[in-house]
A and B are shown apart, each in its own frame.
Chain A
Amino acid sequence: MSTRCMRNSCLQAVCSVVAGIVLALCLTIPVAAAESPGYVGSETCKTCHEEIYNNLQKTPHFAIETGARKGWEKKSCESCHGPGAKHAESASADDIRNPAKLTPVETDHTCLTCHLNQRTPGGRIASGHAKDQVGCTTCHFVHGAAGAKLVEHKKSEINARCSTCHISEWAAFNRPYKHRLPEGAMSCMDCHNPHATFSADTMRTSFGNEPGCLQCHSDKRGPFVFEHAPMRLEGCVACHEPHGSANPRMLVRHEQSLVCLECHSNVSMPSAQNAKIGGVPPAFHDLRTSRFQNCTVCHVKVHGSYVDRELLR
Chain B
Amino acid sequence: MRLLATLLLLVPLAAQEPAAPAPAPGKPADQAAPPPATQTATPPAAQLAAQPAAQPAEAPPQTSTDNWLQGSFEVGYRWIPGGIDGNFDAYRSVVNLGQGPKLLDADFTILNPSKILFDRADVHATSWGGDPYNTLRVDIQKNKIYRLLADYRNIAYFNFLPSYADPTLSQGVQLNQNAYDTAIRTLNVQLDLLPGKWITPYVAFARNTQFGSGITEFFTDQNNYAVASLYSDQTNDYRAGVRMEMGRYHLTIEQGGTTFKDDQGASNNEPNAGNVPGLFNGQPLVLNQLQEQYRVRSNSVYTKVLGAANPFSWMTITGQFVYERPHTDVNYVQTSAGNFFLNDLFQFYSGGQDVLTGYANMPHSFGNVTVELRPWKRLRIVEFWNTDRYHNSSNALLAENLLLVGTAPLTDQQLATDRLNLNYSEEEIDAFYDVTSHLILRGGYRYVWGNTDLGAPALSGLMLETGSVRQNIGIAGVNYRLGQKFRVVADAEGSSSGQTFFRTGLQQYQKAHIRASYDVITSLHLAGDFSLLNNNNPDPTVKLDFASKVESASLFWTPKGGKWANLLLDYSRSAISSNILYLVPETLTPTPSIYKENAHALTAVVTVRWFTFGGSLFTSSGSRPTQYYQPLARFSLPLNKHIRWNTEWRWYSMSEAFYAYEDFRSNQLMTSLRFTR
B455 at the interface (CB under 8 A from A): yes
Contact B505 A167 (CB under 8 A): no
**Is residue B633 within 8 Å, beta carbon to beta carbon, of the partner chain?**
no
A296 and B178 form a contact (CB under 8 A): yes
- Chain B 63-75 interface mask (CB, 8 Å, partner A; 1/0): 1000000000000
Q: A68-B196, A100-B39 are in contact. Are A277 and B585 (CB under 8 A)?
A: no
Give 17 pairs: A residue, B residue, CB < 8 Å, sorted on A: A1-B301, A29-B248, A116-B318, A131-B442, A148-B61, A160-B50, A164-B554, A167-B528, A168-B550, A168-B551, A225-B360, A227-B394, A234-B502, A265-B583, A273-B499, A278-B502, A306-B358
Residues of B contacting A: mostly: strand
Q: If the complex has contacts A174-B628, A223-B298, are A116 and B489 also in contact, measured as CB distance less than 8 A?
A: no
Per-residue B-contact encoding for A17-43, CB less than 8 Å = 1, 0 else:
100110111011111000000000000
Could you tell me the distance between the alpha carbons of A290 and B167 in the complex, rounded to whole angstroms? Answer: 8
B187-223: CB near A (< 8 Å → 1, else 0) gives 0000000011110000000101010000011110000
Chain A 219-249, CB within 8 Å of chain B: the 1/0 string?
1011111110110111000100000001111
Chain A: how many interface residues by the 8 Å CB criterion? 158
Name the contact of B303 in the complex, choosing from A13, A121, A248, A269 (C-beta under 8 A).
A13
Tell me the complex Cα distance, A310–B217, Å: 14
A101–B124 CA distance with the chains assembled, in angstroms: 33
Bound-state CA distance A269–B49 (Å) is 53
B328 at the interface (CB under 8 A from A): yes
Contact yes or no, B360 A298, CB < 8 A: no
B interface bracket (residues with beta carbon within 8 Å of A): 35 or more
A174 to B276, CA, bound (A): 39
Could you say which residues of chain B place their CB within 8 Å of the CB of A146? 57-60
Q: Which of A183, A221, A263, A290 sits near B168, CB closer than 8 Å?
A: A290
Could you tell me if A20 and B244 are in contact, using CB atoms closer than 8 angstroms?
A: yes
A177 to B630, CA, bound (A): 14
Q: Is there contact, CB below 8 Å, between B330 and A306?
A: yes
The residues of A that contact B460 with a CB separation of less than 8 Å are 269, 279-280
Asked if A297 is an interface residue, CB under 8 A from chain B, the answer is yes
- Which residues on A sit within 8 Å (CB–CB) of B529? 165-168
Partner of B572, one of A23, A70, A171, A229: A171
Name the residue on B nearest A127 (C-beta). B370
Contact B168 A293 (CB under 8 A): yes
A residues 286-313 touching B (CB-CB < 8 Å):
286-288, 290-294, 296-298, 300, 306-307, 309-310, 312-313
Given A159-B51, A265-B582: A209 in contact with B366 (beta carbons within 8 A) = yes
Contacts A122-B320, A146-B58; A279 near B233 (Cβ below 8 A):
no
Tell yes or no: A161 within 8 A of B by CB: yes
A286-B586, A296-B178 known; A123+B39 contact, CB < 8 A:
no
Least Cβ distance of B177 to chain A in Å?
5
Contact B262 A133 (CB under 8 A): no
Q: Which residues of B contact A275 (CB under 8 A)?
A: 465-468, 499
- Closest chain A residue to B444 by CB distance? A131
Bound Cα distance A196, B258 (Å): 24
By a CB distance below 8 angstroms, the chain B residues around A13 are 253, 255, 303
Please tell me if the beta carbons of A161 and B224 are within 8 angstroms of each other in the complex: no
Given contacts A16-B253, A168-B551, A253-B593, 13 further A-B contacts (CB under 8 A): A17-B242, A24-B251, A131-B442, A155-B135, A218-B260, A223-B360, A225-B358, A233-B452, A267-B590, A276-B503, A281-B588, A294-B164, A306-B396
Tell which of B280-288, B414-422, B558-566 binds the partner. B414-422
- Report chain A residues within 8 Å CB of B477: 131-132
